[in-house]
Amino acid sequence: IKEENKNDYQIFKTSLTEGFKERLTMENELHKAIKNQDFELFFQPQIEMKSKKIIGLEALCRWNHPEKGLIPPKEFIPLSEKTGLIVELGDWVIREACRQNKLWQDLGLPKVKVSVNLSARQFLQRDLVRNIESILNETGLDPQYLELEITESMAMSNEQFIIETLKGFQQLGVNVALDDFGTGYSSLKYISQFPLSKLKIDRLFIQNRTEQNVAIVKTIIHLSHSLNLKVIAEGVENEEDLLFLNGENCDEVQGFYFSKPVPVKEVDLLFNKKLS
Ligand code: C2E
Ligand code: CA
Ligand code: CA
Ligand code: CA
């Protein structure tokens, strides 16, 4: 090996080790964070088009790191998923979202649903339905005020198990929305067989309104309504987005145009603000 190539290899090896160390450090820190409950939920309103009222709040997790401050989910959810820590973290998220929603209701805020994202690994937990049932019992939240968001990616594995789990939620009275719709392996067979209550159009289609994407949005809205499902669009950032979706009869909208995800202490303000 020539001297310079040897150096390249050395650099390569070092950076590999660095990456590995970094991952290990983060994994350790995540473990600690879960133990210390160093996480925080932010909430983003979901608005019903015809009443212009908030009917739901999506719970979005942030890691409140002692030195680094708030870390966005894309920086720790994938690793949590890979290491299995997502099961414990996800459990905390469901419990916290239910507890908080019940508290708001008891404080007299208008009753709305809280939507919680479920990761694939979490969804495949055998005792998920019973677990959620006991969280509802412990927090006292009426099941109709909890909604779960799942993605298409988990629909590919173990179809029968998924149907049974979804039926379990249906029996509990908990609604399920299919998130990021249109970006994964959508199969019309799944959508018609799964007991779902809502499709959530991915923001990709809303934000990049090419002729094709407009056609896709219209088709998803039609499809939802013919299957008796509600449809919500995410990533609504401006008035044009809203007018477009209103014209296409989309049931609900969510996005920066109304509000970014806000911390718990700012949620009551959302209900006083005039929404469009
Ligand atoms: P998602 O479920 O698709 O959540 C919507 C994301 O889009 C949120 O990012 C939200 O802040 C962002 N968003 C909302 N409105 C707009 C808009 O008008 N424009 C743009 N550009 N973005 C908008 P966030 O909070 O960073 O979350 C990213 C992803 O992390 C989520 O995507 C979800 O997949 C995941 N995630 C967040 N919290 C949890 C959790 O508790 N559990 C699991 N499993 N995943 C979570
Ligand atoms: Ca979501
Ligand atoms: Ca989404
Ligand atoms: Ca997404």
Helix, strand, coil abundance in the chain, percent, nearest 5: 55, 20, 25
User: CB of 61 within 8 A of CB of 89?
Assistant: yes
Q: What is the dihedral of CA 250, 254, 258, 259, to 10 degrees?
A: 180
Q: Whose CA is nearest to atom 37 of ligand 1?
A: 60
Tokens representing 266 are 């700012």
Give the C-alpha separation, 96 to 94, whole Å.
6
Complex ipTM, two decimals?
0.97
129 lines ligand 1 (CB under 6 A): no
Q: What percent of the chain has pLDDT above 70?
A: 91
Q: Whose CA is nearest to atom 30 of ligand 1?
A: 73
179 lines ligand 1 (CB under 6 A): yes
Tell me the CA–centroid distance for residue 14 and ligand 3, in Å.
Answer: 37
Tokens representing 63 are 């890691």
Q: Which ligand 1 atom sits closest to the C-alpha of 257?
A: 18
Q: What is the pLDDT of residue 188?
A: 80
Give the residue-averaged pLDDT of 125-131.
Answer: 95
Name the burial class of residue 213, with classes exposed (0-12), middle (13-18) and buried (19+) by CB atoms within 10 angstroms of its CB: middle
User: CB of 96 within 8 A of CB of 42?
Assistant: no
Q: Whose CA is nearest to atom 23 of ligand 1?
A: 235
Tell me the CA–centroid distance for residue 234 and ligand 4, in Å.
Answer: 9
What is the value of pTM for the model shown? Answer: 0.92
Does 1 score more than 60 pLDDT?
no
Max distance between CA atoms of the chain, in angstroms, equals: 74
Provide DSSP, 69-134: EEE-GGGTHHHHHHHTTHHHHHHHHHHHHHHHHHHHHHTTPPP-EEEEE--HHHHT-TTHHHHHHH
Give the C-alpha separation, 43 to 63, whole Å.
14
Select from 274, 210, 216 the least CA-distant residue to 250. 216
CA dist list (Å): 117 to 71, 110, 180, 205 = 17, 22, 11, 20
Report pLDDT digits (tens) over 197-220.
999 999 999 999 999 999 999 999
Tokens representing 82 are 């890979």
274 lines ligand 1 (CB under 6 A): no
Q: Which ligand 1 atom sits closest to the C-alpha of 86?
A: 44
95-98: which pairs have CB atoms within 8 A and are 24 or more residues apart?
95/135, 95/138, 95/139, 96/39, 96/41, 96/59, 97/41, 97/59, 97/146, 98/135, 98/136, 98/139, 98/141, 98/146
44 lines ligand 1 (CB under 6 A): yes
Report pLDDT digits (tens) over 76-98.
999 999 999 999 999 999 999 99
Give the residue-averaged pLDDT of 95-105.
Answer: 98
135 lines ligand 1 (CB under 6 A): no
Does 126 score more than 60 pLDDT?
yes
184 lines ligand 1 (CB under 6 A): no
Report pLDDT digits (tens) over 39-57.
999 999 999 999 999 999 9
CA contacts within 13 A on the Cβ side of 19: 6
